[in-house]
Structure 1
Amino acid sequence: MITPTPPFPYFGGKYPISSTIWRYFGDVSHYIEPFAGSLGVLLGRPHSHSQIIETVNDKNCLIANFWRALQSDCDGVAQWANSPINEADLLARHGWIASQVEALRENIISNPHYFDIKIAGWWVWGQALWLGDGWCSAKISKRQMPSISTNKGIFKNESSRDIVDYLNRLSNRIKKVRVCCGDWQRVLSPAVIGTSKDIGIFLDPPYKGTEKVYGEVSVGVSQEVFEWAIERSSFPNLKIAVCGLNGDYDFPKDWIEIPWKSSGGFRSSNNLSRLKERIWFSPNCGDIQLSLFA
């Protein structure tokens, strides 16, 4: 079975280091990702894992709509996503989707069955072509050339890739994933976590100073995440990972700090930051780490 890669490039995505993350988490019975984005970590999960319960969330209604639509009508999404690269289409769709966001958000959060395949298909197509941040944001109106690369998102790998087949495989992978759209703490309540004895929680909030890239996330959320993680680090059923840059947080010494280097993303101004990437794992992940690397 070929593992589907993330369907769109996403600033701060963790797919490149997902294998390391799963070595620390192990085969948890419930995996929770409150800042889902492109689901890079979930899609990097080993096939041998049980994948009993998986819950993801993103406050961005365009992301939530894409995942919900893909679960329910993959062929419909593929129909709208399977388009050639065209600058005029990119600009026109950018403006049109931006004008639909408020209505989409209201429908997404008020109707558990609602999704829009046209928005989902056009959005994921443009996410692979748009340079920088601001895709489908009403605040961004400047004209720009599309990316002419066929190696990003749904265009990744060979240019002759069958987008329909790829999206079908991706849809099958996330068919049973629980997708939420709202504040990150909503998927970390006792009602969501339940009574699972082995829970992996991957916290990848916007890094300090980069909140505007994500559009719908308030400044200060990274500090809230840090405090939440520290307060629950001794819970025996929780394995917690927190992402950030070197110097962002002051975790206790019993947390495991893993440095890594990202690809640099799509903003050249962040090329130095990629050298300072860190993931901190709570003490409960220590046994997994020692058994693998001893």
Structure 2
Amino acid sequence: MNAPLKAPFPYFGGKSKIASVIWQALGDVDNYVEPFLGSAAVLLARPGGARGTETVNDKDGFLANFWRAVKHDPEGVARHADNPVNEVDLHARHYWLITEGARAISENAYDPEWFDSKIAGWWVWGACCWIGAGWCNSQGPWVVRDGALVKDRRDGEVGMKRVLPRDTKVGVIRKVLHTSDGGVGIKRQLPHTGNGGIGINRQMPHTGEGGRAEFINNWMVGIHNRIRDVRVASGDFHRVLGSGLRIGKTVGIVLDPPYAALDRDKTYANDEDDVSDRARDWAVEYAAAQGDRARIVFCGYDGQSDDEQVLGSAGWVKHAWKAAGGYGNRSDGRGKANASREVLWFSPGCLPVPAP
């Protein structure tokens, strides 16, 4: 069974639904740069596959390590990702990742050759078990002490939030889930085990002799074949917006920063209140200096910050679209309302795109 060429994990704010429109605006550029990679939805949707020079970056070390590891060792990532959904494993691996895993990433993130297949495999497995925000987030009261998971965080210790398998029928635990929005005690988020699962845990028809292990391996190898020549950086978005942009006659840049924090719930591992404004201001200045050579797509919300004034006055074109809404797509959540606020801003150098 052939796996789809898309990220094998859920991701807030992914652009797979609008990726084809983004590529209409960019065209077949010689140099492609994506400073906020996330799920790589736009990169993986590029018509015709790899072309010219491609550089991506993400400040989240777990994300960057995943893409690096799949690029260099897809079989190793698949081997570590192949594990049934298990609550004990989820807690144990989560704690190991936010302590030992995070330490290894912090020490090696700026080495362009470094990657860790086990960290990548465990991270993607957990991302597919987890529901909502908080995966590999070190904020929480649960710590490991004397080999046991205990709720007793002390100053200086790295804690975590706990989850229970989805569809667990244990009355009071379900009630804790629905009343935990205030952040009292542990936040009982539910990992995906029902409704077919997601990502590498999704329900599949009969896959033949190799089963799920072969399915996961093929998925990782498929991504590997696509990104084998892509340069993967990890750090602030400015790190990939330097001298490398001089490569090629045309440069396409997709800026999809975390949207202004006042407009959404915090869901990213590296949230910064001003990153969207900083990325936008850089884009306006660079587009004005480069003219038609630069084709930039900036992603945001309609009415966010000063985007309308800054981008509109600089001749950028707004393109509205509706996202799926993600985990927040519920009657009382921001996700449902914000899904209708998604916009793309096309720089003056972009190719014409029909109005939605």
Give the TM-score of the pair, scaled to structure 2: 0.76
The runs of 4+ residues in structure 1 deviating greater than 6 Å are none
Give the distance between the partners of 2:197 and 2:89, measured in 1 at CA: 19
Give the distance between the partners of 1:157 and 1:55, measured in 2 at CA: 33
Larger deviation, residues 244-253 vs 140-149: 140-149
Give the distance between the partners of 1:27 and 1:252, measured in 2 at CA: 25
Aligned equivalent of 1:152: 198
Larger deviation, residues 123-132 vs 107-116: 107-116
Which of 269, 289, 292 is the matching residue for 2:353? 289
Aligned equivalent of 1:252: 312
Question: After superposition, where does 1:226-245 map in structure 2 within 5 Å?
Answer: 226-234=280-288, 235-236=290-291, 237-245=293-301
Give the distance between the partners of 1:279 and 1:154, measured in 2 at CA: 30
Aligned equivalent of 1:262: 323
CA contact (8 A) 1:27 1:50 kept: no
Cα deviation, 1:58-117, whole Å, max 9, x if unaligned, reads: 001111111111111111111000111222211221111111244223333353322111
CA contact (8 A) 1:243 1:278 kept: yes
Across the two proteins, how many residue pairs are aligned to each other?
Answer: 288
CA contact (8 A) 1:61 1:108 kept: no
CA contact (8 A) 1:59 1:217 kept: no
Distance 1:157 1:169, change over 3 A: farther
Tell me if 1:222 matches 2:282: no
Give the distance between the partners of 2:3 and 2:161, measured in 1 at CA: 39
Q: After TM superposition, give the deviation of residue 214 of structure 1 in Å.
A: 1.3
CA contact (8 A) 1:26 1:288 kept: no
Give the distance between the partners of 1:119 and 1:27, measured in 2 at CA: 34
Question: After superposition, where does 1:37-116 map in structure 2 within 5 Å?
Answer: 37-47=38-48, 51-116=51-116
CA contact (8 A) 1:3 1:44 kept: no
CA contact (8 A) 1:97 1:136 kept: yes
Larger deviation, residues 158-167 vs 3-12: 158-167
Distance 1:3 1:31, change over 3 A: farther
Give the greater-gyration-radius structure (CA).
2
Q: After TM superposition, give the deviation of residue 156 of structure 1 in Å.
A: 4.5
Aligned equivalent of 1:173: 226
Aligned equivalent of 1:202: 254
Give the distance between the partners of 1:195 and 1:168, measured in 2 at CA: 28
Give the distance between the partners of 2:89 and 2:251, measured in 1 at CA: 43
Question: After superposition, where does 1:9-24 map in structure 2 within 5 Å?
Answer: 9-24=10-25
Tell me if 1:142 matches 2:161: yes
Work out the percentage of aligned pairs sharing the same amino acid: 41
Cα deviation, 1:120-156, whole Å, max 9, x if unaligned, reads: 0010111112111111111143322311144522235
Q: Secondary structure at the match of 1:283?
A: coil
Q: After TM superposition, give the deviation of residue 15 of structure 1 in Å.
A: 1.1
> What are the ranges of 5 or more consecutive residues in structure 2 without an aligned counterpart?
141-159, 165-190
Distance 1:101 1:137, change over 3 A: farther
Letter in 2 for 1:88: V
Q: Secondary structure at the match of 1:212?
A: coil
Cα deviation, 1:187-222, whole Å, max 9, x if unaligned, reads: 001x22123221110000001114732122322111
CA-based RMSD? 2.0
